[in-house]
Amino acid sequence: MDDYIKYSSTRGGDKSLSYEEVLLAGLARDGGLFMPEKWPNFSHSELKNMKGLSYSKLASKILKPFIQPFLGEDDILDICKATYSSFGNDVAPLKELKENTYILELFHGPTLAFKDYAMQFLSRVFNLALEKKGKRAVILGATSGDTGSAALEAFKGMENVDIFILFPHKRVSEVQQKQMTWINEEGAHALSVKTDFDGCQALVKDCFEDLNFKDCTSLSAINSINWVRLLPQIVYYFYSALRVGSPEKEVVFSVPTGNFGNILAGWIAKKMGLPIARLICGSNQNDILTRFFENGLMKRKNVSPSYSPSMDIQVSSNFERLLFEINERDPNSVKKQMHDFKVKGSFEIDQDQLKKINKLFSAFMISDIDTLNIIKKTFSDHKYMLDPHSAIGYGAVQKAIEQKIISNHCPIISLACAHPAKFPQVIKKSIGILPEFPIDLAHIMNQKENFKIIQPDLKDLQEYITKRIRK
């Protein structure tokens, strides 16, 4: 048993928890995020043997070390097969735009966004854990657009789960909102909060830090602050890299980044042995991450609404996990920095630490105007339509090449995180035409909306949740 991976909080409170405990807890009781106490590592020969595996078989191999002994190898494979059975023949297609430059399409799940790859898996293992224990749970999450719809779609109709999703009022796209609010099933609640995403996320964290409320409601998280939600996102880094020449070749990934979970999954893949030469972080005008990677100062500013609303963030929650590693897993340093960030709105790392992480990470800001131009040029040059978030990732690739940080001598994979139909007005503004709606999405757009508008008040939110939990 001692050989199995255990998990501890980035802030030092909870230690040596099992996968199952982390799954149901979501956030550590001290407010920190869970991290594995050791990293599994795949050798060059093991990676070579993974080539040609189906997405589900590869996923089961990548995820197995983190999950055992909660589930056996065959059980994990069965869940992976069920999870990705509806994602099409090619679960995560690679489209080569030009020599050695690829788009990884991560929008082939039920809500047309990359969050489906993890959320569909999470809902299955979460339900299994609850059934084993004969328990119920309340799931609470905040969304800047795509997490909410993916979560409500994945968890709707589950008898032992009540789910509450907070989204910023009038700050998500019409399609993103409709994907959340068309759902009209008992136990599924969409709440439009009169604040920005960071305000929604703060409410969620405050609910978890109220340990009496957390315990009374059996509260759990589905944002990528939940380690188990983040974990399946590692898989598509391995899957795509192996298809373009790894492990013989190093690969560059470019990731449109808001809450830092998706690009952190790439960093974890690197820790596990995948030969990644560089991770490019693409930010929109809310460029807190770009500024950090330039000077080592994480400083919060006001959120400015953009054409890429899922990235309108100034508090990148998952960054705490990288910070834990930057500080050589010293929880006291993390606690101080996160306290400073919450109270003062900023914290700083030293220049030696910054140089170390910048050996792998590069960051670029892409403005709204740049985003429109990237969508237009990519459509003109390659007849390929990028959504505004994916355009930021691809635009960051161009900037990295211009500044000679990377070259196209090694494969470059830019993540496309949402279907362009989720942002039709931005696409029309760029290229003058509307993207074609997939049939399922067109059906949703004609449905009645079901949601509640609330103020960003913690006590009111807790009362609302308490009154609506099914017994």
Please give the Cα distance from 28 to 17 (Å, whole number).
Answer: 10
Q: Look up 115 and say whether it is catalytic.
A: yes
Q: Is the pLDDT of residue 15 over 50?
A: yes
Give bridge partners of residue 453 from the DSSP assignment: 192
Q: Is the pLDDT of residue 18 over 70?
A: yes
Which CA distances in Å does 77 have to 73, 113, 261, 284?
Answer: 6, 23, 24, 37
Which one, of 143, 166, 155, 139, lies nearest residue 24 by Cα? Answer: 139
Q: Are 94 and 243 a contacting pair, CB within 8 Å?
A: yes
On whether residue 469 sits in a domain, the answer given is no
On whether residue 6 sits in a domain, the answer given is no
CATH code of the domain containing 413: 3.40.50.1100
Q: Choose, from 61, 115, 178, 422, the residue flagged as catalytic.
A: 115
On whether residue 148 sits in a domain, the answer given is no
* Residue 430 tokens, joined: 């760029």
On whether residue 338 sits in a domain, the answer given is yes
High-pLDDT (> 70) share of the chain, %: 100
Please give the Cα distance from 278 to 363 (Å, whole number).
Answer: 11
> How many domains does one find in the chain?
1
| Residue range 88-119, pLDDT digits in tens | 889 999 999 999 999 999 999 999 999 999 99
pLDDT computed for residue 223 by the predictor: 80
Of 306-315, 326-335, 458-467, the least confident: 306-315
Instruction: Read off the DSSP letter of residue 9.
Output: E
On whether residue 65 sits in a domain, the answer given is no
Give bridge partners of residue 280 from the DSSP assignment: 254, 362
Q: φ and ψ at 94, to 5 degrees?
A: -105, 130
Angle, helix 55-67 to helix 73-84, in steps of 10 degrees: 130
Residue 239: which domain range?
94-112+230-431
Label residue 2 by pLDDT band (50, 70, 90).
Answer: low
Which one, of 151, 144, 88, lies nearest residue 308 by Cα? Answer: 144
Please give the Cα distance from 261 to 208 (Å, whole number).
Answer: 19
On whether residue 246 sits in a domain, the answer given is yes
| Residue range 195-218, pLDDT digits in tens | 999 999 999 999 999 999 999 999
On whether residue 289 sits in a domain, the answer given is yes
Give bridge partners of residue 193 from the DSSP assignment: 168, 454
On whether residue 303 sits in a domain, the answer given is yes
